[in-house]
Amino acid sequence: MTDRSQRIVAPLARWSSRIALFSASLLAVGIPLHRFAAFPTPVTLNLFKVALAGSALAVLVGMVALGQIWNRGHGGAINVAVGILLPLMIWAWPMTYLPAAFRLPPINDVSTDLVNPPRFVSAAKQRPRDANSAAYPGERFASEQQKAYPDLRPFIVDRSVEETFELVEEVVHKLKWKVATVDPPADRTARNGTLEATDRTLLVGFTDDIVVRVEGGVTQARVDVRSASRYGAGDLGQNAARVRQFLTEMYARLESTAPLGVAGRKRPSAAALKRLKERGAQRAETRSAPDRARSNARHGRAQKETQR
CA distance 146 to 115: 12
Whether 210 and 90 share a structural domain: no
Residue 37: the pLDDT is 87
Whether 114 and 250 share a structural domain: yes
> Percentage of the chain surpassing pLDDT 90?
65
Q: What is the DSSP string of 161-206?
A: HHHHHHHHHHHHHHHT-EEEEEE--SSSSS--EEEEEEEE-SSS--
Which domain does 19 fall in, by range?
4-96
Number of folded domains in the chain? 2
Last residue of a domain, one of 35, 62, 96: 96
Whether 248 and 161 share a structural domain: yes
Could you tell me the pTM of the whole model?
0.77
Whether residue 263 is contained in a domain is answered as no
Whether 8 and 46 share a structural domain: yes
CA distance 243 to 224: 10
Whether 74 and 192 share a structural domain: no
Write phi, then psi, for 208 (nearest 5 degrees). -120, 145
Summarize pLDDT for 67-119 with one digit per residue, the tens: 888 888 778 889 999 999 999 999 998 899 999 989 999 999 999 999 999 99
Kindly state the DSSP code that residue 258 receives in the 8-state scheme: P
Whether 24 and 146 share a structural domain: no
**Which residue, among 8, 154, 135, 28, has the nearest Cα to 77 in the 3D structure?**
8
Number of H helices, E strands in the chain: 9, 6
Dihedral angle computed from the Cα positions of residues 247, 248, 251 and 253, in that order, rounded to the nearest 10 degrees: -100
* Total residues belonging to the chain: 308
Query: What would the mean pLDDT of 251-268 be, rounded to a whole number?
Result: 60
**Confidence category of residue 186, pLDDT binned at 50, 70, 90:** confident
CA distance 143 to 154: 17
Whether 49 and 141 share a structural domain: no
Whether residue 287 is contained in a domain is answered as no
Say which residues have a Cβ less than 8 Å from residue 50's Cβ, sequence separation at least 6: 23, 26
Whether 237 and 125 share a structural domain: yes
Whether residue 307 is predicted with pLDDT greater than 60 in this model: the reply is no
> Which residue type is seen at 156?
I
The region of weakest confidence among 178-187, 193-202, 206-215 is: 178-187
CA distance 223 to 63: 57
- 202-207, long-range: CB within 8 Å, 24+ apart, which pairs? 203/31, 203/35, 204/31, 204/34, 204/35, 204/44, 205/34, 205/35, 205/36, 206/41, 206/230, 206/231, 206/232, 207/41
Whether 130 and 30 share a structural domain: no
